[in-house]
Amino acid sequence: MTGPLSPTSLGAATNIEPSAIEGRNATLAFEKVDLQWININYTVKDGKKGCTSKKVLTWQSGRARSGEILAIMGPSGSGKTSLLNALAGRILYAKEASLSGLVLTNGQPRNGSDFKRISAYVTQDDVLYAFLTVWETIWLSAQLHLPPTISHEEKKREVDAIIQELGLVKAQQTIIGNERTRGVSGGERRRVMIAVELISGPSIIFLDEPTSGLDSFQAQSVVSALKTLAEEGRTIVTVIHQPRSSIFQMFDRLHLLSDGRTIYFGETGPAVKYFEDIGWKCPPLWNAADFLLDLIATDYRSAKAEKDSKERVAALYQKNLEREQTCVCTPTQNLDAFVPAPLLHSGTTNRIESSFTSGVFGKSRKGSTWAQQFILLAWRSARDSLRNTEVIVAKFAISALLGTLVGAMYSNIGNGQQSIYDRKGVLFFVTINQAFGLITTVCGTFPKERKIVLRERACNSYHISAYYLAKFFSELPFHLISPLVLGTIVYWMAHLRPEFGRFMAFMGIITLESIAAVALGMAISSVSSSAEVATILANPISVVMLISGGFYISIQSLPAAAQWVADLSLMKWSFQALVVNEFEGTTLTCTEQDRHCLATGAEAIANIGFAGSTVWDGAAGLIILTLALNFIAYTIMRYNKPRYQSLLAATTAFPTDGPETD
């Protein structure tokens, strides 16, 4: 709707009426909730015009009733997703942006914590773990979100009921899949996304283009599932793009937007008749949705077409404005009917979302404990990695092949002066292989979970500390496959120190270096928006560590101001420990041709630049770096959570003229 809502157009605030699906746990009953919004305005800085402000949403008002589907439709750039995000409290924070208005649930101002409990948001992207099955994905969501007071068997029944409800029975033991591994269909994947959010028993479900990228059959199945959820008493608000006729007929209410303004708000059935009455008749046999979208779109194919279409949209907006003003009370009367007086008259800059006490919807259910979250998230990460057998086999095979090739090249190392350089070379190769390989691997995979983590954090699914530690420790064994396989093969083929104790120290050092490399990869990934950005950041960091690692230039030869760089290089600490482990206590042979003879391992260690060092020094350096990098990564992730725009109190002023046209 275009302007403030009246008591007659919205009705009195709906009483909370618990609803439960037959056969499901009564403790998971949801409240029937009507959602109202009044005078939503959203303004952002226009990047194309410098400091100019751009109105994304203008005087948006309306209502979504329990038991109905409200479809928000409009051409690209019309503000559909912005309106959905404003209602869901999901508009990302921007310093120059301004969001104002009122959002009410059953006649009371929306409260942040309560609203999270009673609402769910299904994103357009299907962000799920590829190697978990449908059942496992939904079951894990149940374990994270449902309170411990609900028994394991009751949770399983809840999962089975949702799978049945959304038509996922045949697919429940199929993995989700990705672009390389076949899994469920696109429509099934989208329904799994809905199921994951549905498990907590939300009253309101927001969906951003749930049929995007699906064929007509899969799109129909998704919307049919939404219709079933609405018929149970839930409030469904969805942005949808070009629905087929049969899908369009499933929508109870329609909100048409163009350039951030309302062109039509009301029941879906009379929409075509309304436009026919004001002079725009839908041609016979046309899809009503296509007709409406064409009608409110701006045509940029020519200057004349653009001018004509903008004038048409402006006229349609004006008609809707006149239509709404004939059936509503004055703005002040309207707001008084729905907003407590202290909120209404508190001014336009007061935040209202925190002013409502958490009593209307009762106390929120507490989900899993920290320990349970850690176990569940570790299980999920390990399960997903373990089933990715293609990657595991590739890691093992490539590491074995590379280790064999390198070991063969260094298989003739003797005990003379040349062996110092040869041993130093193979040890530094092992050092850089572990570091580069794991940093690149983590930077290429960890950021891909970003969307999953952001979605789950927005729902308060778990503590970020539980996620981080579970992720780190559960995937560590899979990261260690390559270094341990390659290190074992190279060590014995290159005829390094044959003592078993020295071999175990060698393996311990490369294990510590690998763990530190994983921590560095996670720290880099935590500040990166994508895998590409993480890889770009990792390259110069790795090069600096390489140069300061003690192989290309002695640590003592570094400028005094750059000594600290070497201390921050995990390659330096690893290479130092490996060199000491290899040369400590050895005797080297000299020949008449050797102009400068290093007779002992201690002399060789000093010549390389690590005099006075021990294996434990290197191990301690790697452990300290690992702890520091993990702390940095965790801290960044903890504070790098999404921030949402605050909703400011609405003004009671209301425009009486139409939109500006260029």
**Higher confidence at residue 180 or residue 64?**
64
In the 8-state DSSP scheme, what is residue 562? G
Average pLDDT over residues 491-499: 91
Residue 178 has pLDDT above 60, yes or no: yes
Average pLDDT over residues 232-240: 94
Q: Which two tokens stand for residue 592?
A: 């008449």
Amino acid at 322: E
Residue 603 has pLDDT above 90, yes or no: no
Q: Rounded to the nearest 5°, which phi and psi values hold at 236?
A: -110, 125
Q: Tens of pLDDT along 430-488?
A: 999 989 989 999 998 888 888 888 888 888 888 999 999 999 999 899 889 888 999 99
β pairing state of 253-258 and 69-73: parallel
Angle formed at CA 534 by CA 196 and CA 434, multiple of 5 degrees? 105
Residue 14 has pLDDT above 90, yes or no: no
Phi-psi region of 355 (alpha: psi -120 to 50; beta: other; left: phi over 0): alpha
pLDDT category of residue 50 using cuts at 50, 70 and 90:
low
In the 8-state DSSP scheme, what is residue 483? H
- Specify the pLDDT at position 328: 47
Asked whether 549 and 425 are in contact (CB, 8 A), the reply is: no
Q: How far apart are CA 575 and CA 569, in angstroms?
A: 10
- Specify the pLDDT at position 246: 92
Q: How far apart are CA 220 and CA 223, in angstroms?
A: 5
β pairing state of 119-122 and 204-208: parallel
In the 8-state DSSP scheme, what is residue 560? G
Three-class SS state of 326: coil
Range in 352-361, 387-396, 520-529, 639-648 with the lowest mean pLDDT: 352-361
Q: Tens of pLDDT along 315-345?
A: 888 888 887 776 544 333 343 333 333 333 3
Asked whether 555 and 572 are in contact (CB, 8 A), the reply is: yes
Residue 590 has pLDDT above 90, yes or no: no
In the 8-state DSSP scheme, what is residue 351? B
What's the chain's average pLDDT? 83
Determine which helix (DSSP H) or strand (DSSP E) holds 453, and give its type and residue range. Answer: helix 450-458
Q: How far apart are CA 242 and CA 428, in angstroms?
A: 59
Residue 159 has pLDDT above 50, yes or no: yes
Range in 86-95, 306-315, 432-441 with the lowest mean pLDDT: 306-315
Location of structure tokens 């009379």: 270
Q: How far apart are CA 571 and CA 584, in angstroms?
A: 19
Range in 48-62, 223-237, 423-437, 555-569 with the lowest mean pLDDT: 48-62
Q: Rounded to the nearest 5°, which phi and psi values hold at 59?
A: 50, 55
Average pLDDT over residues 41-61: 81
Location of structure tokens 């009246």: 6
Following CA atoms 191, 135, 461, 80 in sequence, which dihedral angle do they give, to the nearest 10 degrees? -10
Give me the domains of the chain, ranges plus CATH numbers: 7-344 (3.40.50.300), 370-639 (no CATH)
pLDDT category of residue 255 using cuts at 50, 70 and 90:
very high
Beta strands, E only, 311-419? none
* pTM, full prediction: 0.82
3-state secondary structure 143-176: HHHCCCCCCHHHHHHHHHHHHHHCCCCCCCCCEC
Cβ within 8 Å of residue 181, ≥6 positions away: 130, 131, 175, 390
Determine which helix (DSSP H) or strand (DSSP E) holds 411, and give its type and residue range. Answer: none
Residue 517's alpha-carbon distances to 434, 456, 512, 630, 645, in angstroms, are: 8, 27, 9, 10, 37
pLDDT category of residue 224 using cuts at 50, 70 and 90:
very high
Q: Rounded to the nearest 5°, which phi and psi values hold at 586?
A: -95, 160
Residue 4 has pLDDT above 80, yes or no: no
Asked whether 472 and 377 are in contact (CB, 8 A), the reply is: no
Asked whether 481 and 396 are in contact (CB, 8 A), the reply is: yes
Asked whether 596 and 607 are in contact (CB, 8 A), the reply is: no
Average pLDDT over residues 71-81: 91
Residue 97 has pLDDT above 80, yes or no: yes
Cβ within 8 Å of residue 275, ≥6 positions away: 264, 281, 282, 292, 295, 316
Determine which helix (DSSP H) or strand (DSSP E) holds 119, and give its type and residue range. Answer: strand 119-122
- Specify the pLDDT at position 49: 58
Average pLDDT over residues 165-178: 92
Q: How far apart are CA 106 and CA 102, in angstroms?
A: 13
Angle formed at CA 265 by CA 261 and CA 270, multiple of 5 degrees? 140
- Specify the pLDDT at position 282: 87
3-state secondary structure 566-608: HHCCHHHHHHHHHHHHHHCCCECCCCCCCCCCCCEHHHHHHHH
Q: How far apart are CA 292 and CA 73, in angstroms?
A: 9
Q: How far apart are CA 86 and CA 60, in angstroms?
A: 10
Q: Tens of pLDDT along 134-143?
A: 999 999 999 9
Cβ within 8 Å of residue 41, ≥6 positions away: 55, 57, 58, 59, 60, 98, 99, 100, 101, 650
Residue 5 has pLDDT above 80, yes or no: no
Residue 623's alpha-carbon distances to 19, 371, 437, 522, 629, in angstroms, are: 54, 25, 19, 16, 10
- Specify the pLDDT at position 486: 93
Amino acid at 565: V
Q: Tens of pLDDT along 269-307?
A: 999 999 988 888 888 888 899 999 988 888 788 888 878
Cβ of 179: how many Cβ atoms within 10 Å? Answer: 6
**Higher confidence at residue 53 or residue 176?**
176
- Specify the pLDDT at position 48: 61
pLDDT category of residue 656 using cuts at 50, 70 and 90:
very low
Residue 197's alpha-carbon distances to 187, 240, 511, in angstroms, are: 16, 19, 39
Q: Which residues of 52-85 are buried (b: 16+ CB within 10 A; e: fewer)?
A: eeebbbbbbbbbbbbbbbbbbbbbeebbbbbbbb
pLDDT category of residue 643 using cuts at 50, 70 and 90:
confident
- Specify the pLDDT at position 33: 92
β pairing state of 30-31 and 18-19: antiparallel
Q: How far apart are CA 556 and CA 564, in angstroms?
A: 12
Residue 358 has pLDDT above 60, yes or no: no
Average pLDDT over residues 160-175: 92
- Specify the pLDDT at position 650: 60
Q: Which stretches within 494-530 are classed as H helix?
A: 500-526
Residues in the chain: 662
pLDDT category of residue 51 using cuts at 50, 70 and 90:
low
Residue 588 has pLDDT above 70, yes or no: yes
